[in-house]
Structure 1
Amino acid sequence: MVLDWLAKGKPATLPELLARKQYGKAVEMAQAAFNARPRDGRLQLQLADVLVAAGRGREAVPLLRSMADELATEGFTAKAIAILKRIQKIEPGRDIERRLATLIEDRNRQQPSGAPPAAAPVLPDFGMEEIALDPVGSPGALDFEGPSTDAPAAPAPVAPAAADEARHGPALFPDFSKDELIAVMDGLRLSAYEPGDLVVAEGEPGDSLFLVTSGEVKAWIRNREGRYVLVRQMTEGDFFGEISVLTGSPRTATIVAASWCELLELDRPTLDSITSAYPRVRDVLQRFYEQRMATSADVLQRPGAA
C-alpha cells in the first residue's frame, strides 16, 4: 500500500508510459527530450520509435530520413541502411534506396579507398550498453572460456578459414557501384538480437553473411579440449560469414551477441538472385574472401603446409 502510494507521486518513465499504452504522453516526453538536444541522434531515433509505437509512423519518416541521409553522408553506410529498413517498414518504396546509394557513392568518391570515417556520430545506439557473456547461461549451454586473469594471454590460434566468422576490416560497400549497392541494400534483412543470443554456431551450414550495424558480437572457436575460446569482438561496420555463403563450407566460429545489437543479413538465395543480375557483386565478395585467406598466409607458407 505504501509502495503504491509512493509510486503514484513518481513521474512515469518513457518505457512505463509505452507499457501502459499511454502513447500521447510518451510522444510528448520523447519530443521534449529531443527538442532539448536536437543534435542527439539517440533521442531522434527514440522519438521516431515512439511515434511508430503510437501508430504515427508517417510522422517518424522525416526524422528517420534525415538520420539516414546524415549517416550516409558521413560514411556510416551500415547504420544508414539499418535506418532505411526501418523506413521501408512504414513506407515501402525504392526512392530512399536510390537517394542513399547516391549519397554513399558521392561519399566514396570524396574519401580515399580504405580510409575509415574520422569518428562515429552520436547516432542511433540508444539503449545499447554492453553486457558481459555469462558462461553458465549462454545459449546452448556452450562452455565458453575467457582469457586468463593470471597472466597475459596469447591470442587464440585461428584456423585458416576461422576468420570467416571473425572479420574486422574495411566495409564491403565502397566497392559496389550505385546499381549494385541498390540491389544489395534491397536484399538485406535487418534483425535485432538480445545479449547472449546465438547468431550462428560453429559447424552449422553457412547460408548467409552478416553486417553489424549497432552493438557488439563476439566470435568463439572450440579448442582441442572442447571449450569455447574468444577470438574476436566485432562492432559497427564489421561483417562475417562471406566465406561460408560463397563456398558452402560450415561455420568456422560461434557468434554470440555481446550487447543488444542489430545485424543486416544477406542469405544465399538472395545473393544468387543479385549476382545473376550483377555478377560483379560476387567478384567483390570473392576478393574479400581471398583477402581473408591471405591473413593465414604465414600458416600456409610453412614447410609442409598444404
Structure 2
Amino acid sequence: MAKDLVKLRKKATEAAVKGKLDKALELYQEIVKADPKDIKTWVKIGDIYKKLGRNDQAIEIYAKAATSYAVSGFLMQAISVNKMILEIDPNHAETQAALAALYAQKEGADSAESGPTVGAGVKGASSSVLEMLKKKPSAAAAPPSEPAPAPEAPAEPEAEPESEAEAAAASGKLPQFDAVDLDLADDLFDQIMKQDVVEIKTEDDVEHVLGTLPNIPLFSSLNQDEFTGIVEKLNLRRFDVGDRIIKEGDEGTSFYIIAGGAAKITKTAPNGKEITVATLGEGDFFGEFSFFAGSIRSANVTVTQEMEALEIDRDDLEELTKQFPRIEEVMRAFYKERLVGTMLRISPIFQPLNDEDRAAIMQHFETVETRTGDVLIRQGEEGQGLYVIAGGEIAVSVKGDDGNMLEVARLREGEFFGEISLITDRPTTANCIAVKPSLLFRLPRAAFKQIIAEYPQVLEVTADYADQRVKQTKAMIAGGDELQKAGIV
C-alpha cells in the first residue's frame, strides 16, 4: 500500500506540473481516501487551488496544513506553508500568530531548574490555537471549469476575462491547464477541512498538545514578538534536484533550514574530487557556521530531492536585531551550541561519550573573543583550557633550540588546540597567537579535569592523541614531516 501511495503522489505531482489539474485532483482524491491525514497532499491540493485562482480556499487549506504541522511538532514545515499563504495575502496574520502561540517561549513559563518550556503558561494561547484549528471553511466562488487560453496574436482587443484564474492565465502569471471538475475540487476541499491530524476539541486538548511539543533550536528561545519578527524575515526558497545552494569558497551571507526535501554536503578532496561528508533532510540547518563567523563557505550543499528551505539573510537579521536586541544573544547562543556540539561529535577525544554526556559538557564552554595579536597560549606556561575556533585564524609557533621562533601551523574555523598540556600536566609546548580578530570557545582546565576523571575512556583516547602530536611537533622542529594543522599544542 505504501508503495502504491508513493507512485500515486509521483503521478499526481507530474500531472500538476504539466497543467493536467483535473487528473492531478483525481489522483489526490485517491491519496486522501487512503491517507486522509497526509498533510503534504493537502499542501499540493492547496497549490492547485492557487493555480485555479481560488485563493481564499487555497489559503484555508494552507492554514489548515500549517497549523496541523505545528501541533504535530513540525515547526519548519509549518513556517514554510505559512510563507505560501503570505505569497497570496501578505496581510494574513492569523496562522503566524498561531505558530507563535504554540512555539514561542512564554513569559513566566520558565524556571531556573527546568529551563525554557515550549508553549506553556500563556494566557490566551490555547484559545487562539483552538480558534485556528476549528475555523469553519468559507465558500469561495468557483471559476468556470474551462479557463480561456490567452490568444497568441489577437486581431482585436481581448475580452475581459471572466474569472481570476482566466485573468492570471491570460497575463502569463499561470500556465494554461485543462478543464477541472469543480465538484471534485470542492469535495476534496471539504474532506481536508474536516480532518484533524491531532484530535483537538477543547482548550484542555490544546494545553496537552502544548506540553508535548519539542523544543526547536533557535525558535523556542524567543518570545512571541521576537518569534514573529524572525519568522517574518525568513525567505521561502524552492530548489530543484541538482541545484547547488552553497559553493565551497564563497562568502557566507545567509543560512538555511530545510522545510522539505533533501541535500548532500560535499567537500573537494586534494585530488580535486568531491566527496560526500553528510546528508541533510527536513528540519536540518546548514550554512550557519560561515554565516555567524563571517568566513567563506567550507563545503558545497547540493539538492538531492526537490527542496523547500527557509533562508535567513545577514542584512535582514542585523535590521531585526535593532528592533529586538535580544535576538542577537539568542542567535549567538544557538551558534555556540551548534558549533560546540559539532566539535564534540566529530572530535576523537569526546567520541566515547553519548549524546546526553556531550550535551552536559557543552554547558562548560566559555566564549573568548580576540583582537589581532592577542596571545592565547604562551609556550612554557600552564595550559588554561581546550580551545575550539569558531571564526578567525590562530598561528602556532615554537621556540627552537637556536632560540628562534618557528611557525608550525595555522589553525582555522572548527579546529581545536590546548589539550596536550591539560592531559600531560606539563607546560605548553607552543605559542598560539590570533593573526586576525577571532572567536573561540574554551573548556576551562578545571572542567576538563572533571570530565576526564568522570570518563576515564576520554583520558585514554586523549593521552594517545597527545603523544602522537608531541612526536609530530618534534619532527617539525627537526625539519621532518609537515605537522598536521589540527591541535598541536
TM-score using structure 1 length:
0.69
Q: Are 1:231 and 2:231 matched, yes or no?
A: no
Task: Report the equivalent of 2:32.
Answer: 34
Equivalent in the alignment of 1:4 = none
Structure 2 CA distance for partners of 1:223 and 1:29, relative to 1, 3 Å: closer
| CA–CA separation in structure 2 for the residues paired with 1:23 and 1:207 | 39
Query: 2:251 is matched with which residue: 202, 205, 222?
Result: 205
Q: Distance in 1 between matches of 2:266 and 2:15?
A: 39
Is residue 86 from structure 1 mapped to residue 72 from structure 2 by the alignment?
Answer: no
Task: Verify: 1:177 aligned to 2:176, yes or no.
Answer: no
Q: How far has the Cα of 1:302 moved from its partner? A: 3.9
Offset at 1:247? 2.7
Shift in Å, 1:115:
11
> Percent of counterpart pairs with the same letter?
28
The SS at the match of 1:296 is helix
Q: Is the 8 A contact 1:73 1:104 kept in 2?
A: no
* Alpha-carbon offset, residue 17 of structure 1: 5.5
Residue 411 of structure 2 corresponds to residue 301 of structure 1 = no
Match of 2:235 in 1: 189
**One-letter amino acid of the structure 2 residue matched with residue 80 of structure 1:** A
The offset of 1:29, in angstroms, is 5.3
Equivalents in 2 of 1:269, 1:249: separation in Å? 15
Cα separation, partners in 2 of 1:183 and 1:19, compared to 1, 3 Å = closer
Change (3 A) 1:115 1:220: farther
Secondary structure at the aligned position of 2:256 is classed as strand
Cα distance, 1:26 vs structure 2? 4.7
Alignment of 1:249 onto 2:289: no
**In 2, distance between residues paired with 1:287 and 1:53?**
42
CA–CA distance in 2 between the matches of 1:257 and 1:58? 32
**Cα distance in structure 2, aligned partners of 1:87 and 1:71:** 14
Q: Name structure 2 gaps, 5 residues minimum.
A: 1-10, 119-214, 350-415, 421-429, 431-486
* Change in 2 beyond 3 A, CA 1:296/1:100: closer
Q: 1:18 to 1:67 in 2, by over 3 A?
A: closer
RMSD: 3.1
| Matched AA of 1:289 | Y
Alpha-carbon shift at residue 23 of structure 1 (Å): 4.3
**What is the CA-CA distance between 1:279 and the residue it aligns to?**
1.6
Map of 2:71 onto structure 1: 73
Aligned to 2:40, what secondary structure does the other structure show? helix
Q: Determine the structure 2 residue equivalent to 1:282.
A: 328
Letter paired with 2:417: L
Which residue of the partner structure matches residue 47 of structure 1?
Answer: 45
Give the alignment partner of residue 56 of structure 1, picking from 13, 35, 54.
Answer: 54
Shift of 1:224: 2.6
3-state SS of paired residue (1:260) = strand
Tell me the TM-score normalised to structure 2 length: 0.45
What residue in structure 1 maps to residue 266 of structure 2? 220
Q: Which structure has the bigger radius of gyration?
A: 2
Residue 83 of structure 1 aligns to a residue whose secondary structure is helix
Whole-angstrom distance in 2 between the partners of 1:18 and 1:221: 36
| CA distances 1:64-92 after superposition (whole Å, capped 9, x unpaired) | 11111121122211000001011111222
For 1:103 and 1:51, locate their aligned partners in 2 and report how far apart those are by CA, in whole Å: 27
Could you tell me which residue of structure 2 aligns to residue 133 of structure 1?
Answer: none
Note if contact 1:31-1:47 (Cα within 8 Å) is conserved in structure 2.
Answer: no
Which residue is equivalent to 1:263?
309
* Residues 119-130 of structure 1 mapped to structure 2, 5 A cutoff: none
Give, in whole Å, the separation in 2 of the partners of 1:200 and 1:114.
Answer: 33
The SS at the match of 1:236 is coil
Tell me the amino acid that sits aligned with residue 343 of structure 2: S
1:259 is paired with a residue of what secondary structure?
A: strand
Is this contact kept in 1: 2:245–2:303, CA < 8 A? yes
Structure 2 counterpart of 1:296, one-letter code: M
Which residue of structure 2 lines up, in the alignment, with residue 98 of structure 1?
Answer: 97
Deviation readout 1:272-296 (Å, 9 max, x if unpaired)? 1111111222212212322344243
Letter in 1 for 2:418: Q
Post-superposition Cα deviations, 1:212-252, rounded to whole Å, max 9, x if no partner, equal 11111111122233322212211111112223222321111
- Aligned amino acid, residue 92 of structure 1: P
Cα gap change, 1:77 to 1:222, in 2 (>3 Å): same
Higher mean C-alpha displacement, 211-220 vs 18-27: 18-27
Letter in 1 for 2:103: I
Unmatched tracts of structure 1, length 5 or more: 1-12, 117-168
